[in-house]
A and B are shown apart, each in its own frame.
Chain A
Amino acid sequence: MAEIVLDNITKRFPDGALAVNKISLDIADGEFVILVGPSGCGKSTTLNMIAGLEDITEGELRIGGKVVNNKTPKDRDIAMVFQSYALYPHMTVRENMGFALKLAKTPQNVINEKVEEAARILDLTQHLDRRPANLSGGQRQRVAMGRAIVRDPSAFLMDEPLSNLDAKLRVQMRTEVSRIQRRLGTTMVYVTHDQTEAMTLGDRVAVMRNGLLQQVASPQELYERPANLFVAGFIGSPAMNFLGGTVEENAIRTGIGDIPLTGRLQQVLSRSGSGRDVIVGVRPENFEDASSVPADVRPHGITFQASIDVLESLGSEKYIYFTQETGSVDAAELTELARDSGRADTGSGEATVVARLDPETRISEGDNAELWVDGRALHVFDPATGQNLTLGDSGSPASSAGPGGGAAPAQADAGAAGQDTGSAAPPPR
């Protein structure tokens, strides 16, 4: 067991591609850290560097306090689970799981003992003498996990270990991974594409984009206090809605009306003067059916009219979709998010807004409904840097309006790449 410290790690491939750019991350002993980000952002490369499968171009990697930059994977005592499982097809499940121990010249009886124990944990006992070709996808996945846990390594690395499973099995294995990690208490770095895995599994989530670390925080913190546009749009499903706006005297003028500025935001925005363009982010759950909002809460937000295009009822909640004049929401982050999620509707001046309403609402499809949006829960972003202005300027600590205090570390754009702001210390455990 060991802590893993990435100190300004950079990876430049021989062809010049900069896959990972000065990442700093402290992973505490026994911590479960998730790496998320769009395809090609450098997650696998980061993991491979920790495992020793890729050279580190710059920076220092320490495992358990020792610099391991030049150590081979063999000497790092780390186990890795691959997306494709990478089981040895010519070996039985037993041999697959015992391979690492055999290489380490562990006595055969100890190997058997450990393999059998791991098989018991993973419910593989009756499959021990089969070949991987004769196993189902879920069983193969468990063998891959088994191969990692028999070694009792100082850390687990997992690269999208569940992405090849069907939805149901994935949910099942997700609980399994969580259970195993808790049981063994081993440090774990887990790469995923999946929102749910990211939000439910880890102690902390590290969001990456273009090789840069965007924010590292607990899932709740990421959701409530995203450091920038990218994190805000990436975390959460359905995603946050973005509207263009202009700062006025005491309000932000947007397509859905003038949103009054409250104390903290007013301070931040007034400094830059009026006329400034911003992007306003609204989570789907911050919309309400105006008729169900109590009179004393109403003044905290604004009401507006929207014609409902689609209504989806999921029983416990209803999602409504309406087209909204969004103004200009041009930001590199948003373009990239749209590309990653297959959407292509940002920046065009109009966008589909998603709202999650209480199931009690009587709004129906095609209505011209009156909606209310909670002004206190909005996020305001700077379109140029992508920074979340709601959290306060860097330098001046944010007021205590949000949960917790202190600005979340963020590396907004390539422009800020030189700063060592991506670093984040692990929370006490």
Chain B
Amino acid sequence: MAAVTTTSRQKLGWGATNLVVIALALIPVLWLASLSFKTPTAILDPSFVPAQWTWGNYTQILSTTQFIRPLINSIGIGLIATLIAVVLASMAAYAVARLRFPGKGVLIGMALLIAMFPAISLVTPMFSIERAIGLFNTWPGLIIPYVAFGLPLGIYTLSAFFREIPWELEKAAKVDGATPFQAFVKVIAPLAAPGMVTTAILVFLFCWNEFLFAISFTSTLASRTAPASLAYFSGSSQFTVPTGPIAAAAVVITIPIVIFVLFFQRRIVAGLTAGAVKG
């Protein structure tokens, strides 16, 4: 009896704690959504539900290149950086998981170091470098640092996945006449696909959310990404703060993330290796 009451009380406690945490995390997001539907004059209205609903903020941002162009930049830069990072990371992770080579420890350490390095301390030197070699305010100017920061993340996630794949599959492929590259592409990579998808999502989210490099290494719409563009929004007149459009843009940026996570959650968890070896 005592045990049962303890359990249900524990459950209650956990439930309450979870609710508080979720509320703390969600209320600002909901507040943002609410703001994005308010008319410019109602921005300072403290009520949570807008008195008068409007799509005005959305039509405004979606009809100006001030936001559309950065959105395209974000998608393009994010996809390219993700693709490059996943391809490179899967090769590196495969080596880390499967091969013994001198300097492996150093390589892993370096990757960890990059991941831990505070980005802010790199901004100034990288800014100078990008200016000097003409990468400033271009897509590659953002893609390269994104790949660099996405790689350690990718190597870590993917090497965990590669370690799970039975080594004998690769031996079998070699005996079946595959070159090491064919064995990787036709046997190992398909089995690591869930891992690659996971990695791709993580890297893409990193690129999508990144703000510091985006604001520092861009100067025009040619390469400015969506998060950075928010800082350049102007109000309808000189004297209005563009709170509504900023809120609407923030919501637009958040939507892909929500879709991504909901859509791929199952894929991330699903293991493909079942049945490879004795059941």
Check B278–A84 contact: CB distance below 8 A.
yes
Task: List B residues 236-279 near A (Cβ within 8 Å).
Answer: 272-279
A140 close to B278 (CB less than 8 A): yes
B187 touches A88 (CB 8 A): yes
Count contacts between A and B, CB distance < 8 Å: 86
CB-CB under 8 A from A135, the residues of chain B are 275
Which of B177, B186, B277 is close to A73, meaning CB atoms less than 8 Å apart?
B177
Chain B residues in 8 Å Cβ range of A425: none
Kindly list chain A residues whose C-beta atoms are within 8 Å of the C-beta of B174: 52-53, 72-74
Chain A positions within 8 Å of B278 at CB level? 84-85, 137, 140, 164
CB-CB contacts below 8 Å: A12-48 with B: 14, 48
Q: Judging by beta carbons under 8 Å apart, are A104 and B177 in contact?
A: yes
Residue of A83, A90, A103 with most chain B CB atoms under a 10 A cut-off: A90
Query: Which residues A186-239 have CB closer than 8 A to chain B?
Result: none
Interface residues on B, range: 20 to 34
Nearest CB in chain A: distance from B151 CB, A: 26
A80 surroundings in chain B (CB, below 8 A) = 171-172, 175
Chain A interface, number of residues (Cβ within 8 angstroms): 34
Tell me which of B166, B177, B275 contacts A100 (CB under 8 A): B177
Q: Are B177 and A132 in contact (CB under 8 A)?
A: no
How far is A358 from B273 in the complex, measured between Cα atoms in Å? Answer: 53
Shortest C-beta distance, A51 to chain B (Å), equals 6
Residues A132 and B276 in contact in the complex (CB < 8 Å), given A72-B174, A73-B177, A99-B176: yes
B175 & A79 in contact (Cβ 8 Å cutoff): yes
CA distance A147 to B168 in the complex (A): 14
Pair A86/B177 contact, Cβ less than 8 Å: no
Determine the residue in chain B with the shortest Cβ distance to A54: B171
Are B272 and A74 in touch, CB under 8 angstroms? no
> Which of B100, B173, B179, B274 is close to A14, meaning CB atoms less than 8 Å apart?
B100
Query: Which of B176, B178, B187 sits near A147, CB closer than 8 Å?
Result: B176
Which of chain B's residues have a CB closer than 8 A to the CB of A89?
Answer: 191, 272-276
Is A78 an interface residue, CB under 8 A from the partner?
yes
Residue of B whose beta carbon sits closest to that of A80: B175
Check A51–B275 contact: CB distance below 8 A: no
Render A164-196 as a binary contact track against B, CB cut-off 8 A, 1 for contact.
100000000000000000000000000000000
With a cutoff of 8 Å between Cβ atoms, the chain B residues found around residue A322 in the complex are none
> Is B16 engaged at the interface, CB distance under 8 Å to the other chain?
no
- 24 contacting pairs across A/B (C-beta < 8 A): A51-B175, A53-B171, A74-B174, A74-B178, A78-B175, A80-B172, A80-B175, A83-B168, A84-B276, A84-B277, A85-B278, A86-B169, A86-B277, A87-B275, A89-B191, A89-B272, A89-B275, A89-B276, A99-B176, A100-B177, A134-B275, A140-B278, A151-B176, A164-B278
* 6 nearest A-B pairs in the assembled complex, by CB-CB distance: A133-B275, A100-B176, A84-B277, A86-B172, A86-B168, A89-B276
